Amino acid sequence: MFNVNKTILSLAFITSSLTSGVYAAEQKIDLKFAGALEFSDTGTLFVGDNYNGAIYALDLTGGKAPDTVTPIYLNDIDTRIANILGVGKSAIAINDMAVNPVTSDIYISVSRLGNFDSSPAIIKIKQDAQIELLDLETVAFQKQTLSHYPDQETTFKPRGLGPTPALKRDLAKGKVAISSLAILDMEYYKGELFVSGVAFDNFLSTLRRIPYPFTGEQSAANVEMYHIAHDQFETRAPIRTMSVQEIGGKTQLVAAYTCSPIVLIELDEIVDGAKISARTVMDYGNGQPIDMVSYSLNGQDALFLTSNGRAPHVIPVDSLKGAKSYTKGDLPEGGKSDTHPLMPVGDTGKAVMFEGMSMHIDNLGGGRFVSLTRDMYTGSLNLDSNFDWFPNRIHNLQAEYDFPQYWAEKKQ
């Protein structure tokens, strides 16, 4: 899932609404915004374009798997990307990251920001840690435009905090178009692309189901869910990140919303025109989920969920089997802050350590995650890969094991 705030605030124009359709590979690509990224299991890269209201499928298949997956560390990755694009670091916004499951090459979607416009770019980091700009003109592609694309005039409503007047940074949200959330996350599963975002006019939260290769067909279903912390049903705020899992013999979508309910949706429910009531099974409090990574932990299926305001959570998939679902009236009335004695609610898994702040994270392969991580002390943005059972560097920590006297005693 990508962060739209910095990118969209710097954009002046959004294209007009498009009708559903497929465009073949012989046409010139007209990508205007590189946002959410997702790979198929064979190496097709899906790119969400919230300007065009479309998804592009880039044919990056045919690559070979490396003999061994090489861990990668590149400090100041934003500076390196800016240098390749010929701009200053402050003139780029990183939107998303995804790893090719075949080659383990890393792809990062970027916006180059200007005074009146922006242009998209996709950066490739190879297994030898070489960085290059993906030449979009040489890649075969398909394009699927979205039905029910939201209008481009409606913007968010600015708000301050309680009685405090709204600051300039709060008011700036009033310039962000709601259509910037048309494509928030994509999940490829068995020949279909599941897309979360906003559509329609009022019942905005939408799940799309699109067959691939694209045929022009797509299903768009509305989604509501009960938000425990807010104590209300919500139909507008869309799913931020999601993963398809087999739970209790049923194929289900595990999805995370802002501040921060976790819901389950059976795939059979996602049909065109449906109004889905997602089952809320947990809520671990404030924060905006960023990425949900499926991986194997100690031989068991698990989800690694990152957030912009909380420690990552590890959720065993088995813990979702038969999990209690919550609706209005199940808990005491009223909103519930993080310090409320009932929070968090449900089987939330476990919060785990992550040193620094992960902007985006994905499976690299070889038992490692790769993360775009903001260093807590230097502020640098680094591309780092660590074991998925302990996705941390320990360079900023001083513990008992770091003292030479400890090891001297161990030798005795």
| Tens digits of residue pLDDT in 325-357 | 999 999 999 999 999 999 999 977 899 999 999
How many CB atoms are located within 10 Å of the residue 323 CB?
A: 17
Summary mean pLDDT of the chain: 91
CA proximity to 194, closest of 277, 268, 282, 301: 268
d(CA 21, CA 106): 29
Please list, in sequence order, all residues whose beta carbon lies within 8 angstroms of the beta carbon of residue 230, skipping any fewer than 6 positions away: 259, 335
For the four alpha carbons of 57, 372, 101 and 244, in that order, the dihedral sign comes to negative
Query: Which residue's entry shows tokens 């560390």?
Result: 73
Question: What's residue 223's pLDDT?
Answer: 97
- Listed in sequence order, the residues at least 6 apart from 249 whose beta carbon sits closer than 8 Å to its beta carbon are none
Q: Is the pLDDT of residue 3 over 70?
A: no
Distance of alpha carbon 260 from alpha carbon 345, whole angstroms? 10
pLDDT score, position 152: 80
Write out pLDDT tens, residues 124-163: 999 999 999 999 999 999 999 999 888 888 899 888 887 8
Q: How do the domains of the chain map onto residue ranges?
A: 5-411
- For 317-386, give the DSSP string: GGGGTTPPPB-TTSS-SS---TTSTT-SEE---EE---SSEEEEEEEEETTEEEEEEE-TTT--EEEEEE
Note the pLDDT of residue 203: 85
Residue 270: is its pLDDT beyond 90? Answer: yes
Q: Is 231 exposed, middle or buried (0-12, 13-18, 19+ CB in 10 A)?
A: middle
Contact 43, 102 (CB under 8 A): yes
Q: How confident is the model at residue 10 (pLDDT cuts 50, 70, 90)?
A: very low
| pLDDT the model gives residue 163 | 82
* Omega cis (within 30) before 120: no
Please compute the mean of the pLDDT values over residues 20-33 and round it to a whole number.
75
In 10 A of CB 159, how many CB atoms? 11
**Per-residue CA distances from 20 to 111, 272, 291, 343 (Å):** 25, 14, 28, 43
pLDDT tens column, 156-203: 988 888 788 889 998 998 999 999 999 999 999 999 999 999 998 788
**pLDDT for residue 15 is more than 50:** no
Of the pLDDT bands very low, low, confident and very high (cuts 50, 70, 90), residue 24 is low
Burial of 172 (0-12, 13-18, 19+ CB in 10 A): middle
Q: Report whether pLDDT(25) > 80.
A: no
pLDDT of residue 27: 80
Amino acid code (one letter) for 174: G
Cα–Cα distances (Å) from 134 to 105, 138, 257, 294, 328, in that order, read: 12, 9, 32, 26, 48
pLDDT tens, residue by residue, 349-389:
899 999 999 999 999 999 999 999 999 999 999 999 999 99
pLDDT exceeds cutoff 90 at 254: yes
Position 276 pLDDT exceeds 60: yes
Between CA 224 and CA 279 the distance in angstroms is 9
Cα–Cα distances (Å) from 306 to 41, 126, 251, 394, in that order, read 23, 24, 23, 19
Q: Please check whether residue 81 is in contact with residue 108, taking contact to mean a CB–CB distance below 8 angstroms.
A: yes
Q: Is the pLDDT of residue 1 over 50?
A: no
Question: Would the pLDDT of 14 be above 60?
Answer: no
Q: Which two tokens stand for residue 182?
A: 């048309």
The proportion of the chain whose per-residue pLDDT surpasses 90, expressed as a percent, equals 83
SS (H, E, C) 173-202: HHHCEHHHHCCCEEEEECCEEEEEEECCCC
> 353-390 burial string, b = 16+ CB within 10 Å, else e?
ebbbbbbbbbbbbeebbbbbbebeeeeebbbbbbebee
